[in-house]
Amino acid sequence: DNSKLQVAIDGPASAGKSTVAKLVATRFSYIYCDTGAMYRSTTLKAIRNNLPLDDEQVILKMLNDTEITFEPGEKQQKVFLDGNEVTNDIRQEDVTNNVSTVASLGAVRAELVERQQEIAAKGGIVMDGRDIGTTVLPNAEVKIFLIASVEERADRRFKDNEEKGIHVPLEQLKKEIEERDYKDSHREVSPLTKAADAIEIDTTSMSIDQVVDAISDEINKKLSL
């Protein structure tokens, strides 16, 4: 089916990936898959079970016995871990600050990448993460690399938090984002990098709608070929 493309959206923390990916998926009636939620759910379960987060075999064994599923939600997609909703729990600070450690485990990545490729095989898809254009969907017709200044990204996260009644100082958020970007970009297995054929969009002074329109234009270009 020529109208069902693969759209890969990668970039650093809080660049707006999941927000715009979901809107783009809705616009084209494609499936949306938030791969960060899969790494976050894995991390949450490991923390809850007091498992050593840097032990590849222990985490892989846990993961092989773990079900992570999605359901459409209003503002964001709902995430379920072994049948229980964890949409909000996976955004907690302890998960955010430990997810890069779990995401650096090669065997864990291999298992989650396989699950992501199975989801993508079902049809038109918009998938966001760190390694989608490079590793998960290397043949994606549209590859986008979203960036924004770290100040702007910390500010976005700050506003998200305040809306939820979570108070973390702006400076701390900026530091956490920088540390996570560093770890994600420097790990051995599929680090965060821009695919050679990805289109970079700097969203620092763009609205959500402008970003969604820019990505939609790229999809429409491919659809009209």
CA distance 70 to 79: 5
Q: Which residue has the tokens 């999941």?
A: 18
Contact between 35 and ligand CDP by CB under 6 A: the answer reads yes
Contact between 134 and ligand CDP by CB under 6 A: the answer reads no
Contact between 123 and ligand CDP by CB under 6 A: the answer reads no
Contact between 41 and ligand CDP by CB under 6 A: the answer reads no
Give the footprint of ligand CDP on residues 171-200 (CB under 6 A). 180, 184
Residue of 48, 208, 221, 222 interacting with ligand CDP (CB under 6 A): 208
Contact between 19 and ligand CDP by CB under 6 A: the answer reads yes
DSSP 12-63: STTSSHHHHHHHHHHHHT-EEEEHHHHHHHHHHHHHHTT--TT-HHHHHHHH
Helix (H, G, I), strand (E, B) or coil at 202: strand
Least distance (Å) between residue 40 CB and ligand CDP = 5
Residue of 30, 41, 131, 173 interacting with ligand CDP (CB under 6 A): 131
Contact between 14 and ligand CDP by CB under 6 A: the answer reads yes
DSSP 179-193: HHHHHHHH-SSS-S-
CA distance 139 to 65: 30
Residue of 56, 89, 160, 202 interacting with ligand CDP (CB under 6 A): 160
Least distance (Å) between residue 130 CB and ligand CDP = 4
92 versus 223: smaller Cβ distance to ligand CDP: 92
Paired sense of beta strands 78-81 and 84-85, if any: antiparallel
Q: Find the helix or strand (DSSP H, E) in which 125 lies.
A: strand 125-129
> Where along the sequence are the contacts to ligand CDP (CB under 6 A)?
13-19, 35-36, 39-40, 99-100, 103, 129-132, 156, 160, 180, 184, 203, 206-208, 211
